[in-house]
Structure 1
Amino acid sequence: MTLSPDAAPARRLVPAIERASAVMDLLAGSSRPLSLSEIARAAGLAKSSAHGICETLSALGLLRSEAAGYAIGPHALRWSAAYLGRTSLISEFEALLASDDALRSATTTLSVLSGRDVVYLACHNSDRPLGFTFRAGERLPAPFTATGKAMLSALSETERQALLAGDWPAPLTPASVPDAARFETQAARWQTLGYAIDDGEVREGMVCLGAAVRDAQGRPVAGLATSFTSAEAAGDERAALGRAVAALAHRLSAHRPLPD
């Protein structure tokens, strides 16, 4: 088949690097070291291939070999620090936390869309018991999270539906939105409110209120959220908290440059 002059050539990916990246993603999302058998099974690799990848990554300092298996190694922090050091939005988020006493006392997160997931860039966990701790680098299904809902709702309907096409993510709780059609109903509500609500969809008994951080053209570039117990975010208080989060996201949006 001959490509037309305007057709972009398909990107040529290196399979070995794809497999190594998949192993790194797997371990980054785990709260404990994983055995070689677990890695091979979850990544769909032959055990011998998984062993070669893990040993190579360990030799490079990207993984750490422990008695219980493999975990992320210290060299990965160098890449993370290089990315975070170039991300002004994180600095602005931290400055916002420092300037707002109420915000410092709450669990507050900053995230971005990555496909159908959100990835947390920065997290401030409150000392108050919440039953859930966010951490930088963590991924969660975007349709279930407050920031994911807010960012998805800020996209056009065509973009949103294309992004959410295919198999729906497995629910995290019985309250997790069950399908794309139901999410579209929710999206209309979040657009009207100016903020989005995760009411026990990530963790039962936890309410998160999120709003989109936008660039100068109004497109979502990140999401800001605060999290509370359901008792703390009840009734009229929930609406007041939602409006406050939307105002904070707008403050961050005011500093966003025009996209390149």
Structure 2
Amino acid sequence: MATSESEAFVRSLARGLMVIEVLGQAPGRHSLADLADATKLPRTAVRRFLLTLIDLEIVRSDGKQYWLTPRVLRLSLSYLSTLPYWREAQVALEELSAVSKQSCALSVLDGEDIVYLQRQHAKRILPVSPSLGSLIPAYAVSMGRVLLSGLSDDELDQFLRKVKMRKLTSVTITDRAKLKAEILKVRKQGYAWGEREFDDSICGLAVPVRDMNGAVIAAINVSLASGEFTHKTAVEQFLPRLWHSASRLRMSAPVQDTKRARPSKSLTHS
């Protein structure tokens, strides 16, 4: 694997992608100075990247501000098209939301965050309502803990050593030993319950999506308004439906590398 110190690492490509990533952040239109400041790159370098991206019709400009064009969606859609279960997930989440009358989502792990790949909103929109592509800290939400439970023991320990945690609410777990215990509990029971750790108004129940070898490749959840459900009532009402939806996705999921270390004592309900 190429690293930033290796000869195989293409620094200009990495910097260009960094510029695209910053352009995708709020407020959506950025000056050259803003982009240089956010990327920590010289203005001359950022200008060259922008001119190239304009030629490729990925970026537009009025001479002062720069913004992305819809063509950048080709990059993200290229990833989604490689996931055989993604289209099935859309149908499964629509049905899950209709039956449960709650918002639900599909996500994968990306470093220290989860990334939303699908999101089905209930009629009542929750105060915090992530959309496709949203990033959420994995340590603080039920889907994140489900995905972390699918890591090998060594991978989980490495994550816990490096992850940056902060109190998002008064009950957010930031103690590494306590977080590890919670993740191991999730691994054993096959689901995760999160209550007011990311936002005081939100609770969530999540289960893993596995491939045919049992490897965790994604997570699905139902998002609930705090105070309307307890851990017990949420499990009774939604867990069987979540496992059923996860089973549907498993049938269309690709098989991961079987050489990858598997977590001990993992359950395969889905």
For 1:109, the equivalent position in structure 2 comes to: 105
- The 3-state SS of whatever aligns with 1:88 is coil
Aligned pairs for 1:175-194 (under 5 A) are 175-194=171-190
Query: Residues 247, 175 of structure 1: CA spacing in aligned structure 2 closer, same or farther, 3 A cutoff?
Result: farther
Give CA deviations for 1:56-98 in whole Å, capped at 9, x if unaligned.
3233222333698433321112233333334221111122134
Query: Residues 130, 12 of structure 1: CA spacing in aligned structure 2 closer, same or farther, 3 A cutoff?
Result: same
**Kept after mapping to 1: 8 A contact 2:96/2:242:** no
Write the distance in 2 (CA, Å) between the matches of 1:235 and 1:146.
12
Structure 2: 5+ residue stretches without partners: 258-270
Task: Indicate which of 250, 253, 256 corresponds to 1:256.
Answer: 253
Query: Could you state the TM-score of these two structures normalised by the residue count of structure 1?
Result: 0.83
Query: Could you state the TM-score of these two structures normalised by the residue count of structure 2?
Result: 0.81
Task: Indicate which of 220, 231, 239 corresponds to 2:235.
Answer: 239
AA of the residue aligned to 1:41: D
Q: Which gives a bigger RCO, structure 1 or 2 (Cα 8 Å, sep 6+)?
A: 2
Write the distance in 1 (CA, Å) between the matches of 2:21 and 2:169.
23
For 2:156, the equivalent position in structure 1 comes to: 160
**Kept after mapping to 2: 8 A contact 1:33/1:68:** no
Q: Which moved more, 1:154-163 or 1:107-116?
A: 154-163
Query: Residues 61, 132 of structure 1: CA spacing in aligned structure 2 closer, same or farther, 3 A cutoff?
Result: farther
Matched, 1:128 2:105: no
**Kept after mapping to 1: 8 A contact 2:142/2:206:** yes
Q: Which moved more, 1:165-174 or 1:144-153?
A: 165-174
For 2:87, the equivalent position in structure 1 comes to: 91
For 2:267, the equivalent position in structure 1 comes to: none
Aligned pairs for 1:1-260 (under 5 A) are 12-30=8-26, 32-65=28-61, 69-100=65-96, 102-103=98-99, 105-234=101-230, 236-240=232-236, 241-259=238-256
Q: Which moved more, 1:127-136 or 1:76-85?
A: 76-85
Give CA deviations for 1:197-244 in whole Å, capped at 9, x if unaligned.
232233221112111111122111111111111123335322223453
AA of the residue aligned to 1:206: I
Query: Residues 54, 134 of structure 1: CA spacing in aligned structure 2 closer, same or farther, 3 A cutoff?
Result: same
- The 3-state SS of whatever aligns with 1:75 is helix
Q: Which moved more, 1:58-67 or 1:206-215?
A: 58-67
Query: Residues 234, 179 of structure 1: CA spacing in aligned structure 2 closer, same or farther, 3 A cutoff?
Result: same
**Kept after mapping to 1: 8 A contact 2:207/2:243:** yes
Q: Which moved more, 1:247-256 or 1:141-150?
A: 247-256
**Kept after mapping to 2: 8 A contact 1:97/1:104:** no
AA of the residue aligned to 1:132: V
Write the distance in 1 (CA, Å) between the matches of 2:139 and 2:87.
26
The CA RMSD measured in Å over matched residues stands at: 2.7
Structure 1: 5+ residue stretches without partners: 1-8
For 1:4, the equivalent position in structure 2 comes to: none
For 2:264, the equivalent position in structure 1 comes to: none
**Kept after mapping to 1: 8 A contact 2:97/2:121:** no
Query: Residues 76, 211 of structure 1: CA spacing in aligned structure 2 closer, same or farther, 3 A cutoff?
Result: same
For 2:266, the equivalent position in structure 1 comes to: none
AA of the residue aligned to 1:205: S
Give CA deviations for 1:235-257 in whole Å, capped at 9, x if unaligned.
53222234532342233224334
After the TM superposition, which parts of structure 1 deviate over 4 Å for at least 4 consecutive aligned residues? none
Write the distance in 2 (CA, Å) between the matches of 1:147 and 1:122.
13
Query: Residues 29, 211 of structure 1: CA spacing in aligned structure 2 closer, same or farther, 3 A cutoff?
Result: farther
Q: Which moved more, 1:170-179 or 1:210-219?
A: 170-179
Shift of 1:141: 1.9
**Kept after mapping to 1: 8 A contact 2:148/2:156:** yes
